[in-house]
Structure 1
Amino acid sequence: MTSTSRPPGRAWIITPGLHQHRFVSAQRSGAGVAVVDIEDSVALPDKQTARTASEAFFALTDPPCTLGIRINSLTTVEGLKDLIALAAYTARADLVVVPKVESPRDVELAAAALDADGCTPDIWALIESPRAFETLPAIMHAPRLGGVVFGSADYAASVRCGLDWDALHYARSALVNAATAANIPAIDAPTWQLDDLDALRRDAERAKNLGFTGKGCVHPRHVQVINEVFAPTSEEIARARTIVTAADASGGAVTAVDGQMCGTPFFKAARAIIADADRMS
Structure 2
Amino acid sequence: MSRSARQPVRAWLITPALAAERFEKARSCGADVALADLEDSVAPPHKAAARTTAARFLHAAAADGPVLGLRINSPVTADGVRDLAAITDYAPQPHLVLVPKVESARDIEIVAGVLGTGEHTPVIYALIETPRAIDRLPAIVSADRLGGLLFGAADYAALTGCARTWEALLYARSAVANSAGSAGIPAVDSPYFDVADLDGLQREAERARALGFQGKGAVHPRQVPVITRAFTPSEREVAAAQALVAADRETQAAVITVSGQMVGPPLVAAARAVVDRAASASSAPSS
TM range (shorter): over 0.9
State the secondary structure of the residue aligned to 1:35. strand
What is the aligned partner in structure 1 of residue 285 from structure 2? none
1:249–1:117 distance in 2 versus 1, CA, 3 Å: closer
The Cα of 1:61 is off from its aligned counterpart by: 4.8
The Cα of 1:252 is off from its aligned counterpart by: 2.7
What is the aligned partner in structure 2 of residue 14 from structure 1? 14
**Shift >4 Å, 4+ stretches:** none
The Cα of 1:280 is off from its aligned counterpart by: 2.3
State the secondary structure of the residue aligned to 2:269. helix
What is the aligned partner in structure 2 of residue 5 from structure 1? 3
The Cα of 1:5 is off from its aligned counterpart by: 1.2
| TM-score normalised to structure 1 length | 0.96
What is the aligned partner in structure 2 of residue 147 from structure 1? 148
> Aligned residue pairs: how many?
279
Q: Distance in 2 between matches of 1:237 and 1:96?
A: 32
The percentage of counterpart residues that share the same residue type is: 49
Amino acid aligned to 2:35: V
Q: Could you list the runs of 5+ residues in structure 1 that have no partner in the other structure? A: none
Q: Could you list the runs of 5+ residues in structure 2 that have no partner in the other structure? A: 283-287
Q: Distance in 2 between matches of 1:53 and 1:250?
A: 57
What is the aligned partner in structure 1 of residue 228 from structure 2? 227
Does 2:42 align with 1:36? no
Comparing 56-65 with 228-237, greater Cα deviation is found at 56-65
Q: Distance in 2 between matches of 1:86 and 1:20?
A: 17
What is the aligned partner in structure 1 of residue 103 from structure 2? 102
Q: CA offsets per residue over residues 144-166 of structure 1, 9 Å max, x none?
A: 11111001100111101011100
The Cα of 1:260 is off from its aligned counterpart by: 2.0
Does 2:249 align with 1:252? no
CA contact (8 A) 1:8 1:66 kept: no
Name which structure has the greater RCO, CA cutoff 8 Å, separation 6+.
Answer: 2
The Cα of 1:216 is off from its aligned counterpart by: 0.5
What is the aligned partner in structure 2 of residue 119 from structure 1? 120
Q: CA offsets per residue over residues 174-216 of structure 1, 9 Å max, x none?
A: 1110111011111000001100000000010001000001011
The Cα of 1:8 is off from its aligned counterpart by: 4.1
Aligned pairs (5 A) from 1:268-279: 268-279=269-280
The two structures, once aligned, show a CA RMSD in angstroms of 1.1
State the secondary structure of the residue aligned to 2:249. helix
Q: Distance in 1 between matches of 2:259 and 2:145?
A: 43
Q: Distance in 2 between matches of 1:252 and 1:149?
A: 38
